[in-house]
Amino acid sequence: MSITKPRAAQTRRPTRPARPAGRRSGRTRRKDNATAYLMLAPMVGLLGVFVFWPLVYSVYLSLFEINFYKGSTFVGMKFYKYVLADPQFWSSVGKGLYFAALVVPSGLVVALLLASFIKTLGRRSAAFVKTVVYLPAVISVVIASLLFRFMYQDEGVVNWLLGLFGVEPVGWLENADTALPAIAVPGLWLSFGLTTLILLAALLDIPESYYESAQLDGAGFFRCTWSITLPLLKNILLYLTVTGLVVPATGIQQLELPLIMTEGGPVGSTTTPNLFIFFSFRDATPYATSYSLTAALLLFVVLGAISLLIFRFLKSEKSIDG
């Protein structure tokens, strides 16, 4: 038989006073911030070593006339004036913008249509189509350039198909008007696979209840696309537009395709900015290194300005949770 002590005789442990909520939250916040800084430190260190420091050092070197056989000579902003006054540099920037305008918008349209089609398929069919669509992304740019160069020949597949409709063979890569659009086709083919998978993931993230509600109100496919799909894909489309314009594979900085397929010709019609910088570096003049370095830095400024304009006119929005 257990005997309980009287209630008055029971010992009570003294309770500690509760800490202020603000002090506790402040301490937790500082701990979370420290954890976040530790997680970001390796990436910030890598960016500092491989991005920020080379960029700052490149700006410093652009102020000198570099000579590998003699000492460098300080010339200030001399090469910046040369590059800014060079019509060939601005012509190459225009060619790069034209190439990006041909590849990026059409790539987004094709990728969105393919992603919408894959979304309607079953699991096995979707897996097969996704594999086929992504295959061009793993093909070497050199192989793709040589493949399309053979296809554009007078006896190639493209002219053979045109001949079935009675069209005479076209010198796609020998004509200044058709060379850059012809190069844009393999650029589109190489890039739309990854874009399709990104858009497919974004489409699958949109709740089906949105479309069901719209269809109950009588909305069709185009109305749902315009009022639901495109607004909810705005952030993804903004990301793909900016990266498509600035990355070397599809945008203004394209180098491999024009170098292998046309070597910048005919008459400079396919000389993109990176190809112009490459040719400037190979020039036999004693200031070729400084000139090409300055052109690369100015191209960096141009790409940054274009990105700022895109973010200015196409503002991103907060994500919507389903």
Q: Which residues neighbour 296 within 8 Å (Cβ) at sequence distance 6 or greater?
A: 58, 277
In whole angstroms, give the CA distance from residue 91 to residue 271: 8
Count other Cβ atoms within 10 Å, centred on residue 219.
16
Number of H helices, E strands in the chain: 15, 2
In whole angstroms, give the CA distance from residue 300 to residue 54: 13
Q: Which residues neighbour 121 within 8 Å (Cβ) at sequence distance 6 or greater?
A: 129
In whole angstroms, give the CA distance from residue 130 to residue 143: 22
Q: Which residues on neighbouring strands pair with residue 74, listed in sequence order?
A: 64
In whole angstroms, give the CA distance from residue 184 to residue 264: 13
Can you read off the two tokens belonging to residue 65? 């006339």
pLDDT per residue over 27-51, tens digit each?
Answer: 788 888 888 889 999 999 999 999 8
- pTM for the structure as a whole: 0.83
Q: Which residues on neighbouring strands pair with residue 64, listed in sequence order?
A: 74
Determine contact, residues 96/253, Cβ cutoff 8 Å. yes
Can you read off the two tokens belonging to residue 235? 């952030």
In whole angstroms, give the CA distance from residue 53 to residue 4: 76
Count other Cβ atoms within 10 Å, centred on residue 251.
25
In whole angstroms, give the CA distance from residue 44 to residue 179: 42
Determine contact, residues 183/270, Cβ cutoff 8 Å. yes
Q: What is the residue-level pLDDT of the chain in tens, covering all 322 positions? A: 444 545 544 555 555 555 554 455 677 888 888 888 899 999 999 999 998 999 999 999 899 888 777 778 888 899 999 999 999 999 999 999 999 999 999 999 999 999 989 988 888 999 999 999 999 888 889 999 999 999 999 888 999 999 999 888 889 999 999 999 999 999 999 988 899 999 999 999 888 888 888 888 888 878 888 888 888 888 899 889 888 888 766 788 889 999 999 999 898 899 999 999 999 998 878 788 899 999 999 999 999 898 888 888 776 665 554 4
